[in-house]
Amino acid sequence: MSKSAAAFKRSEELTLPSGLTVEVRRPDIARLVMESKDGSVPAFLTQQVVAGLSGKVQNTKAWDPSTEDLSTMSRFMDMVVRAALVWPVIVPGEPDYDAGQISIADLGQDDRSFLFGWAMPNENAAAARFRAKQNGTMEPVPNL
């Protein structure tokens, strides 16, 4: 039996669109949604998580970013990116760059969108549609 806590790390390196390399781990999206108390989770996603926990199939219409509060989606993206990034660490306030800290503002939109897409579960069609709407070049993959 291994007694090393390092086995729990489960992180990997990714190269961002900017060319920077980061260390990441997949966050537990359902847990982030359930623990959020600051209005950072879009209503459609909260409904999906609640339906999943209750075992009920959620038959929702496709998410349309024109009807959802985009500032809420932006806060949710930031929450997911913070949870996914292991190194460097995103901190509130002034970062200590020498200690491996950055601000969320240090990440460009391309890097944030890339990290968000990497962190979200593949079956989350709403997230795929959101990414598609952001750059206009991607088409969402239908759930089969």
Cα 45 to the center of its chain, rounded Å? 12
pTM for the full predicted model:
0.70
Residue with tokens 């996603």: 45
Between CA 90 and CA 92 the distance in angstroms is 7
Q: Cα dist. 7→3, 26, 89, 144 in Å?
A: 9, 15, 20, 35
Which residue has better confidence, 126 or 91? 91
Q: Is the pLDDT of residue 32 over 60?
A: yes
Name the maximum alpha-carbon separation found in the chain.
53
- Mean pLDDT score, 10-37: 90
The Cβ of residue 37 has, within 10 Å, a number of other Cβ atoms equal to 7
How does 96-123 read in b/e, with b if 16+ C-beta sit within 10 Å? eeeeebbebeebeeebbbbbbbebbeee
For the record, the structure tokens of 42 come out as 């879009």
Between CA 105 and CA 93 the distance in angstroms is 11
Q: Are 58 and 125 in contact (CB under 8 A)?
A: no
Q: Tens digits of per-residue pLDDT, 62-80?
A: 556 656 677 788 888 999 9
